[in-house]
Amino acid sequence: MARKSSPQLLAWAQTPSHLQFNPFVLTGYRPSSSTLGCVLSLFYLHNELGNIYIHGLALLVFLVLLPLTIPWGQLGWGCWLGGTHCLACLAPPAGSVLYHLFMCHQGGSHVYTRLLALDMCGVWLANSLGALPMIHSTLTCWPRLRLVILLLYTLLSIKAGWHAVTARSNMARLQAFGWQAITRLLVFGIRALGVGSGAPGALPCYLRMDALALLGGLVNVARLPESWNPGAFDYWCNSHQIMHVLSVISILQLHAGVVPDLLWAANHNYTCPAA
């Protein structure tokens, strides 16, 4: 592939205003393109290429990994939890790939706004559906409390989804998921105190999952490291790419916790305190 076949890339000041969200990435912006032009941008270097491929490759790996490592035959009626878990893992990279690939579409801010909403829907699904197997397993011995927590988490998820889609800054989008994170921490606390149930060893995976996701969000908000040296990280190792890598590892940690929890719940090899 010859470098000269790629279109002329733009500087930050030459891009449309809706794409000027990171003033520390100075070069490498794609010009407004047709749908085909956006797809062809997979084959030349620009400042979104890393973002597209990090989540694109992760999506391909997840499509193979998830069906092979979830013990569907042992789950029985719990297969619905395995299905929601798959959707929670696949939605963020899928939405992200579409957003980053087509964000320079010639449709302008109208198309961009909808792509951003699609990207945030993927994050929202990960936060909303990803917690269901963990809550189900942790509160197995407390069915009424489990129902209350699931209803509360559902209401908070609806609120988070609305705020995430309508937010106008990275910090506002990160804050949109705050109450969901607090609820998960409360459930983690129940589990850590020994009141809750679940597979041994799953809780550290969940804690690493949330810690990595939070770290990625904070790095993205702080624009590190590109804010330290504008222009030096235009193509590689900027904050958004770091967030993408951390989000992939976070999803893998979620999967590492959910699979043993699903097996634990399916095997019924536990005794509730009230029993």
Neighbours of 271 (CB within 10 A): 9
C-alpha to C-alpha distances, 80 to 28, 66, 83, 84, 87, nearest whole angstrom: 44, 14, 5, 6, 11
- The SS3 assignment for 115 reads helix
Q: In whole angstroms, give the CA distance from residue 78 to residue 95.
A: 26
Answer yes or no: is 18 a known binding residue: no
- Cα separation, 229 vs 253, in Å, equals 32
First to last CA, the chain: 67
Which residues does residue 169 pair with via DSSP β-bridges, in sequence order?
none
Does the annotation place 100 within a ligand binding site?
yes
Question: In whole angstroms, what is the distance from residue 217 CA to residue 213 CA?
Answer: 6
Q: Which of 197, 72, 241, 33 is nearest to 44 (CA)?
A: 33
- Give the Cα separation of 175 and 138 in Å (integer): 25
| Dist. CA 150–CA 89, nearest whole Å | 19
Asked whether the CA dihedral 50, 52, 58, 60 is positive or negative, the reply is negative
Q: Which residues of 86-108 are buried (b: 16+ CB within 10 A; e: fewer)?
A: bbbbbbbbbbbbbbbbbbbbeee
Tell me the binding residues.
100, 240, 244
Detail the residues annotated as belonging to a binding site for Zn(2+).
Answer: 100, 240, 244
